Amino acid sequence: MPIDPRLIELVKGSGNFYFPVERDGASVPLWASRYTNSVLRSRALWQQRLSPRVVQLLHRAFSEMLVGFYESAGAGKLTADRADDLARSLRAHLARLEIQLATITGDGALAAAGIAANGHAQGVRQTVGVQAGIETSFTQVPAQALDLMQIRRFAESEAVGHSQFIRTLYNRRVNSAENFKVFDDLIRQFVIEGRSWTDSTRDIAGLLAKGDSALMQEMVSHLGARGGKLRNEISQSFWADLNELAKQDEFYAKVIGDTKLRAQTILYDGRRIAISEVNIAHFEADRLAAETSPVVQAVTWNLSGRHASIGIACECDVLANADYHGLGTGVYYAENCPSRPHPFCGCTLGYVLRAPADWNKAKDTPRRPIQLSESTIEDFLNQANEKARSDKTLSITPKRIDRVLENVNGLTRKAHSVWAGRLEEVAA
């Protein structure tokens, strides 16, 4: 049966969960409370414990790389004959870092997907129990969610496994030819300046650490005295020393500037990729678990709490306000709900729950999403701008409207196409 739009309005004040009631103003049914609490507990576990843990492990991997590289320094001056040895040492340490980051990110994504699936599994156990005719398993949801992430990202014929995808991302950010070119230029300049091998490795490690306070703290807490020694070396006169050298030579200033940008990008991108992948994995598994659950009828698109303060109307505003399926504002079938539209998207899913009498019935077959027009997109973006802080809003230009239109319609089309493809595979 189609979702009653009145249902959404009736329980609009109930947060991210909507449930059937017998009369207006009725209290939340016990079964609905049990289900929502299970899912919310798992969401808190992902946000408050898993994500910080992934960042901590990321910082530990960086710390180990930096300290290991610093300790590998040879004695004496860095001569032209020894420059290649230093460059090879840096490449080797960054190659190991790439593998570590990929492993941490892959494990974190799978854990996030598992947490999402477990929240719904616990909810089903506490509400449905062992009712006759209702059998549900969430065991395969985490792995399936990672596979579907990749299929939704690429054309199905071009999809690669999540692990391979992560390795490719980190390879481009950590071990790129562009990165090594600027490091090689810096090492050659160190040779010209007659700097010692130890000072050269310290300076490169300092640039890679970029003075990041969280990384520096983890360096000491994780590696003790070894980490403390490097932290002290790059926190006293490090930046003043490099700046003084830059003042003496215009080319040297450019090399240091280029290297600083590249080095800082490695740490920034490392964190960005890890957190983004963990968040996307949780979102996709949450959607797939909602599709699997006999208790969930549909999902809703809920804007991130920080969205209004950012003040930039985007695809998320459209997804939260559009009615693609005739189910109501921002309501989607779990099967073909679109993926998050941009990196660091903090939007989450809400859930329209089914009445107990419907738990053993088949769900509605998802309808194909409509395609929004330019005027509709413009209206949604302007409405979002009116709610945002005026000092941070971006003007709604025709180019911006076209980009958002292409993205949201493309996301909904792809989500439906992937679901339909899965259905065909099952039928075959």
**Structural domain contains residue 1:** no
| Packed helices 30-45 and 80-127: angle between N→C axes, nearest 10 degrees | 170
CA geometry: angle 62, 66, 68, nearest 5 deg:
115
DSSP string for 25-77: TPPPPHHHHHHHHHHHHHHHHIIIIIHHHHHHHHHHHHHHHHHHHHHTPPSSB
What is the predicted pLDDT for the residue at 26?
55
**Structural domain contains residue 21:** no
- Domain identity same for 224 and 308: no
**Structural domain contains residue 400:** yes
CA geometry: angle 125, 141, 357, nearest 5 deg:
40
- Domain identity same for 138 and 48: yes
- The percent of the chain in helix, strand and coil, each rounded to the nearest 5, is 65, 5, 30
Range of the domain at 407: 304-428
- Domain identity same for 404 and 344: yes
**Structural domain contains residue 20:** no
- Domain identity same for 359 and 234: no
- Domain identity same for 112 and 257: yes
What is the predicted pLDDT for the residue at 15?
47
Choosing from 262, 293, 324, the residue where a domain stops is: 293
Choosing from 238, 261, 293, the residue where a domain stops is: 293
CA geometry: angle 168, 170, 172, nearest 5 deg:
70
What is the predicted pLDDT for the residue at 131?
67
**Structural domain contains residue 166:** yes
- Chain segment 156-197, per-residue pLDDT in tens: 556 688 899 998 888 888 878 888 888 898 898 889 888 899
- Domain identity same for 333 and 278: no
Tell me the one-letter amino acid at 96: R
**Structural domain contains residue 348:** yes
**Structural domain contains residue 217:** yes
- Domain identity same for 55 and 167: yes
Domain count, the chain: 2
- Domain identity same for 272 and 386: no
The Cα–Cα gap between 387 and 377 comes to 16
Phi, psi dihedral angles at 18 (to 5 degrees) = -125, 135
What is the predicted pLDDT for the residue at 399?
87
CB 278 within 8 A of CB 202: no
Distances (CA, A) of 143 to 31, 120, 414: 28, 16, 20
Q: 91 is written with which tokens?
A: 């490449």
What is the predicted pLDDT for the residue at 246?
72
What is the predicted pLDDT for the residue at 156?
59
Stretches where the chain sits below pLDDT 70 are 1-17, 19-27, 130-133, 135, 155-159, 236-239, 307-311, 387-395, 423-428
- Domain identity same for 355 and 266: no
The Cα–Cα gap between 353 and 334 comes to 12
- Domain identity same for 272 and 337: no
- Domain identity same for 106 and 134: yes
- Domain identity same for 310 and 348: yes
The Cα–Cα gap between 289 and 138 comes to 7
The Cα–Cα gap between 141 and 124 comes to 14
**Structural domain contains residue 163:** yes
The Cα–Cα gap between 43 and 278 comes to 12
Choosing from 293, 315, 331, the residue where a domain stops is: 293
